[in-house]
Chains A and B, each alone.
Chain A
């Protein structure tokens, strides 16, 4: 029902915005669950906007569509189970098909990307940065530094991430996770030699609760916002960017005395982490027809699933 009422509100806003406009180029009437639909609506100024219905699963139960539009100021977020007036389409149910009951768990929209041209430029920049700078450095580092040491460094930085995880668990009301994180921190910082050894995971089999402020905001119902692909930092969203900013207050490295030290610490962490992940980005590129979109969508789906859990 939540999805329905959201659609209702959005549709209301939509109609309000276009109050007085007429819709030429009305939908051709063919709406079906597996095909979805694409309407092009023209207002009185002659501007054309698209409203698209995308099947969540093309041959599913016949009544799940998710919506996408480029009408400015509207963010459509939700699916409709059954049609409710308001000028929204009535998807036809296909008889005898049986339901795909698992569709309802996943609202498969994609993140809006109004900054796509800029994002793509940064994506290309990051691509070059990775292949020409980060990867060679990480490979050199990997060759020289033994794995145990690199794991130690990784554990050390992960341990330093405790305040972020802890506070965000609390903010989300996940008190058990928070106390688990606290216990992990104590254990790793003491027995684990200031975090170098991840005693909590390996010895005590404790789970790490990877929460951040972006997820906290998401759990409060704040939508993802649009996609931003930062140079060097990589994929993010409007909300998650605020999330990062918020988390930086809880990150020890931010308090190093001078910017160059902050930068050095972050670079070291990045190179170390990359030394474990060489090959992943290449694999993504290999599997994707459009790596930029592949990464953007994977990021979006991943963040959604992290917020849900």
Chain B
């Protein structure tokens, strides 16, 4: 059953988050590469290995990731039409919850990094938006095309969506959330997110 559809594609965006540093002409490439290198070095640092160090490791990785990913933009786009209806406090809460959800899943995957290779296929830029295409090749020669969408904020370029094999992360969550919000009130969604976070601890 699972074979008729590459579930791995949906999940490997987390590997993609780690490895596929968006690259395009100019100084930003250096910044992105350094973010990626930082994370990789944290993950492969022998002093940081093992269960005991896991909390510290995650904190360090999260710091690097926060510099590169625009959690608020991702959260906003995943709520889409429902975002505007939220109060400021609710918005803040949602960004935190959603960010934690992504972070947790991401960190689990990052720690399973096993030598995948990253190839930069191309990029395009248009005003304040950019797209970067990357190919991840696993050790078993399985290729995964990854597409980053970025938006410039001041001096920085931040990622607001990732697509693996054409499956967009933000869109996937947007459909899930809108499906839930069509049937139940917003607070149910929030409690589902909180429940999930409690489960995973």
Question: Which residues in A have some Cβ–Cβ distance to B below 8 Å?
Answer: 32, 34-38, 54-55, 57-59, 98-102, 106, 108, 110, 126, 129-130, 134, 201-202, 232-236, 270, 273-274, 277, 280-281, 283-284, 286-290, 293-299, 301-302, 304-306, 308
Contact = CB atoms under 8 A, between A and B. Distances in A.
Contact of B126 (A99, A283, A294): A99
Contacts of A130: 1-2
22 contacts: A37-B81, A54-B178, A55-B80, A57-B77, A58-B83, A99-B129, A102-B124, A108-B168, A134-B1, A201-B141, A274-B2, A277-B8, A286-B108, A287-B10, A287-B105, A293-B175, A295-B5, A298-B5, A301-B163, A301-B167, A302-B6, A302-B167
B177 A289 contact: yes
A54 B82 CA distance: 10
B5 A235 contact: yes
A126 B1 contact: yes
Contact of B1 (A101, A232, A302, A305): A232
B198 to A, nearest CB: 13
B107 to A, nearest CB: 12
A17 B38 CA distance: 60
B4 A301 contact: no
A270 B3 contact: yes
Given A130-B1, A290-B179, A308 B166 contact: yes
Nearest to A229: B1
A253 B108 CA distance: 39
B88 interface: no
Contacts of A281: 2, 7
B127 A98 contact: yes
Given A55-B81, A106-B168, A301-B166, A284 B176 contact: no
Contacts of A295: 5, 7
B180 interface: yes
Contacts of A35: 81, 83-84
Give the one of A59, A234, A288, A298 with max B CB within 10 A.
A298
A286 B176 contact: no
Interface residues of B, number: 50
Contact of A102 (B131, B175, B196): B131
A306 B167 CA distance: 10
Interface string B170-189: 01111111111000000001
Interface in B1-60: 1-11, 14
Contacts of A110: 175
B166 A280 contact: no
A24 B63 CA distance: 52
A164 to B, nearest CB: 13
Contacts of B180: 289-290
Given A281-B7, A289-B176, 15 more contacts: A35-B81, A35-B84, A54-B81, A58-B77, A58-B81, A99-B127, A201-B141, A233-B1, A234-B4, A270-B3, A281-B2, A283-B109, A284-B7, A301-B163, A304-B166
Contacts of B80: 34, 36, 54-55, 58
A298 B166 CA distance: 9
Given A100-B129, A286-B200, A34 B83 contact: yes
B165 interface: yes
A113 to B, nearest CB: 9
A134 B4 CA distance: 14
A124 B124 CA distance: 42
Given A234-B4, A280-B2, A308-B166, A302 B9 contact: yes
